[in-house]
A and B are shown apart, each in its own frame.
Chain A
Amino acid sequence: MINLAGRDILHDGPKFVLTGLGLGLLIGVTLSMAGVYRGMIADGRALLDNSGAELWVVQQETLGPYAEPSSLYDDVYRSVLTVPGVSQAANVTYLTMQVRSDREDVRAMVVGMAPGPAGTPGWPPYLVSGRQVTRSHYEAVADIATGFRLGDRIGIRRHEYTVVGLTRRMVSSGGDPMVFIPLKDAQGAQFLRDNDAVLQGRRRTAQNPAFNRAGAPAVLDAVIASQNVSRSVNAVLVTLKPGVDQADVAKAIERWKRFTVYTRAQMEAILVGKLIATAAKQIGMFLVILAIVSAAIVAFIIYTMTLGKIREIAVLKLIGTRNRTIAGMIMQQAIALGVIGFVVGKIAATFWAPFFPKYVLLMPRDSLIGFFVVMVICVLASLIAIRAALGVDPAEAIGG
């Protein structure tokens, strides 16, 4: 038996391919949206992986340091180090801000990393060029997504830093590339005020009789000095000795040191379940709308194509063609349209994904699910056209 659908497609090849191309671009957008969502999750996981931590010690009853503000004294890490099972503990600060360069400002997450040997939690685990930060101040390692180059001078708040190393895939949960600077500099950038604010603060403190007591000038100096020293960090990153249970150590730190401690699994749940959840719902809504739009377009195209063949369908029915042959022809065309659309969409999404400003992760599993969804949509969309075709009266082929 001749494949009527295939013959019709070949006969109307350019029109069919162009239609598939249009549908494919829509499917490409849908796949890209799914890729954006996967990219957000991948960014979140990369953030956790790259921190090198197994436990996150944060301010009590906060979801810090990524999902909520968290502030700890910067000597907390010393006491954490005394907890049995802890191998390393290092302070870290995170601050998303504009980083200036000669070429352009870049939105980046500035990470303050504690001094120590390479491999200290919070440090970039690998470099693609240059070296790690070796000085206490004014050096930086940047993710290549910032566009910075080795030797670039970049501005963070009041100070300039030299880019000495470049790394890759070091991003915040929001996809902003990271810039690593020494902890002291980061604390200054995050917590210190500008000169005018410092002067006003000193004046106000001096006007307070509780601090500026006659006969006790050292009190005012001490208070002012304490106001201008930053002793805060956002979290303490902890690594454990081999074979130690994360939950046991976390429980011990929480109990004896009175902080909130998250394990890797808990932190991932916070990132994916809370931080990314709203964005995920947003993207989910987009996906649903795009699926409906795709279905409507496929239905419209197939319906229009079918209406254009009403006379031929009437003739086919009159000469004895079975309904299932006609329905099969329409359904095969819808499926062929879907296959063309999916292939075009997949190629388009793969091609344009690297040009997105944030990470777009196209997973084979999503593509497979997408393919089946497209097929289901095409089959369902063809039902309207099939209904119209089966409703054609064969008598329409006969005049009168």
Chain B
Amino acid sequence: MSAHTLTQIPTDGIVIEGLTKRYGKGDTAVDALKGVDMYVAPGEVVGLIGPSGSGKSTLLKCLGAVIEPTSGRMTLGQDVIYDNGWRIDDLRALRRDRIGFVFQAPYLIPFLDVTDNVALLPMLAGVPNRESRERAVELLSALDVAHRASAMPAQLSGGEQQRVSIARALVSRPPVILADEPTAPLDSERALSVIRILHEMAHRFQTAVIVVTHDEKIIPTFKRMYHIRDGRTHEEIGEGREIGATLNV
């Protein structure tokens, strides 16, 4: 087990330095994050592990530009996005174009078919429908769910839904993906399948992936992890266990 120091981090990927988040004011204030330092390199999948109430979700929301940290610094690639205040005006566009989200439940839009669920993001960014759908189909093929491209979300199995949600997270080619308990509702086989896909996609698209998880089955697959406890992160080297055959990508 060894810790990286911030002086070793690359200049791209996502870098977090001294991030804090305080809820409330005065006597009732709660410090959910007390100075988080972490980085994830492009193409790397990092686990974020910790007990309930440790600050995992708060950190994820800060990284996702959903809530504003209290202080600290975050950089994404060459861009400083937060430095004791947001440095980007359009957080909505930041989330749309540069951050992919994978949730515990897939949360696919129930009234859109699989292709349009994936293609929605580029469409929202103004990419023509045809091109958006082509991108979606390409990703669905990579994730081995192209045969369900015209199915509605309710017609998919849990594993298929999660793969579609991964495709949705990847479709804008974001430099970072935030995955919140992506394997929680899945059995071992499907959970490992999903995490393998995340590893392969991270490698293929050089995306930095942060996986928040409690799942004992997938923890051994991370080469590097951050334990978060009482609002602080501690870096660990993981086992980086091989998951099995790679997908046809």
A398-B66, A400-B56 known; A8 and B97 CB under 8 Å? no
Tell whether A217 is near chain B: CB-to-CB under 8 Å.
no
A318-B64, A399-B180 known; A11 and B107 CB under 8 Å? no
Tell whether A12 is near chain B: CB-to-CB under 8 Å.
yes
| Residue contact A1 to B103, C-beta cutoff 8 Å | no
A318 to B109, CA, bound (A): 13
Determine the chain A residues whose CB is within 8 A of the CB of B121 once the complex forms: 319-320
Which one of B33-41, B78-86, B110-118, B155-163 contacts A?
B110-118
| Residue contact A397 to B103, C-beta cutoff 8 Å | yes
Q: How many residues of B contact A (CB 8 A)?
A: 34
Contact with B along A384-400 (1 / 0, CB 8 A): 00000000011101111
A8-B111, A10-B111 known; A398 and B124 CB under 8 Å? no
Determine the chain A residues whose CB is within 8 A of the CB of B119 once the complex forms: 2
Contact with A along B53-67 (1 / 0, CB 8 A): 000111011001011
A4 to B104, CA, bound (A): 24
Which one of B11-19, B88-96, B187-195, B198-206 contacts A?
B88-96
| Residue contact A7 to B56, C-beta cutoff 8 Å | no
| Minimum distance in angstroms from B217 CB to a CB of chain A | 18
Determine the chain B residues whose CB is within 8 A of the CB of A394 once the complex forms: 66, 95
A319 to B168, CA, bound (A): 10
Which listed residue (B61, B64, B107, B124) contacts A321, Cβ 8 A?
B124
A1-B129, A12-B111, A312-B110 known; A318 and B104 CB under 8 Å? no
| Residue contact A398 to B129, C-beta cutoff 8 Å | no
| Residue contact A320 to B111, C-beta cutoff 8 Å | no
Determine the chain B residues whose CB is within 8 A of the CB of A317 once the complex forms: 92
| Residue contact A319 to B61, C-beta cutoff 8 Å | no
Tell whether A311 is near chain B: CB-to-CB under 8 Å.
yes
| Residue contact A395 to B111, C-beta cutoff 8 Å | no
Determine the chain A residues whose CB is within 8 A of the CB of B142 once the complex forms: none
| Residue contact A397 to B107, C-beta cutoff 8 Å | yes
Chain A contact patch, size range = 20 to 34
A109 to B96, CA, bound (A): 74
Determine the chain A residues whose CB is within 8 A of the CB of B110 once the complex forms: 11, 312
| Minimum distance in angstroms from B168 CB to a CB of chain A | 8
Which listed residue (B94, B101, B112) contacts A397, Cβ 8 A?
B101
Contact with B along A1-37 (1 / 0, CB 8 A): 1101001101110000000000000000000000000
| Residue contact B111 to A319, C-beta cutoff 8 Å | no
| Residue contact A7 to B116, C-beta cutoff 8 Å | yes
Tell whether B144 is near chain A: CB-to-CB under 8 Å.
no
**8 Å CB contacts to B: which residues of A342-400?**
393-395, 397-400
Closest A residue by C-beta to B57: A400
Tell whether A322 is near chain B: CB-to-CB under 8 Å.
yes
| Residue contact A2 to B107, C-beta cutoff 8 Å | no
A317 to B95, CA, bound (A): 9
Interface of A is mostly: helix
Tell whether A81 is near chain B: CB-to-CB under 8 Å.
no
Number of cross-chain contacts by CB at 8 Å: 85
Determine the chain A residues whose CB is within 8 A of the CB of B64 once the complex forms: 318, 398
Tell whether A315 is near chain B: CB-to-CB under 8 Å.
yes
| Minimum distance in angstroms from A326 CB to a CB of chain B | 11
| Minimum distance in angstroms from A390 CB to a CB of chain B | 13
Tell whether A134 is near chain B: CB-to-CB under 8 Å.
no
A311 to B168, CA, bound (A): 16
Closest A residue by C-beta to B169: A319
Tell whether B197 is near chain A: CB-to-CB under 8 Å.
no
Tell whether B120 is near chain A: CB-to-CB under 8 Å.
yes
Determine the chain A residues whose CB is within 8 A of the CB of B56 once the complex forms: 400
| Residue contact B101 to A319, C-beta cutoff 8 Å | yes
Tell whether A150 is near chain B: CB-to-CB under 8 Å.
no
Closest A residue by C-beta to B97: A320
Tell whether A316 is near chain B: CB-to-CB under 8 Å.
yes
A325 to B57, CA, bound (A): 27
A2-B120, A319-B95, A400-B57 known; A395 and B66 CB under 8 Å? yes
| Minimum distance in angstroms from B129 CB to a CB of chain A | 7
| Residue contact A320 to B95, C-beta cutoff 8 Å | yes
Contact with A along B226-237 (1 / 0, CB 8 A): 000000000000
Closest B residue by C-beta to A1: B123
Determine the chain A residues whose CB is within 8 A of the CB of B61 once the complex forms: 395, 398, 400
| Residue contact A320 to B124, C-beta cutoff 8 Å | yes
| Residue contact A400 to B58, C-beta cutoff 8 Å | yes
Determine the chain B residues whose CB is within 8 A of the CB of A325 once the complex forms: 124
Which listed residue (B57, B93, B116) contacts A399, Cβ 8 A?
B57
Closest A residue by C-beta to B92: A320
Pull 8 A–B residue pairs with CB atoms less than 8 Å apart, ordered by A. Answer: A7-B111, A315-B103, A318-B101, A319-B124, A320-B96, A398-B57, A398-B101, A398-B103
A interface, CB within 8 angstroms of B: 1-2, 4, 7-8, 10-12, 311-312, 315-322, 325, 393-395, 397-400
By Cβ-Cβ distance, the 8 closest A-B pairs, closest first, are A400-B57, A320-B96, A11-B111, A8-B111, A395-B66, A315-B107, A320-B95, A7-B111
B interface, CB within 8 angstroms of A: 56-58, 60-61, 64, 66-67, 92-97, 101, 103-104, 107, 109-112, 116, 119-121, 123-125, 129, 152, 168, 180-181
Q: What 19 additional pairs, Cβ within 8 angstroms, besides A315-B101, A315-B103, A400-B180?
A: A1-B123, A7-B111, A7-B116, A312-B110, A315-B109, A317-B92, A318-B64, A318-B95, A319-B124, A320-B97, A320-B125, A321-B124, A325-B124, A395-B67, A397-B103, A398-B101, A398-B180, A399-B57, A399-B104
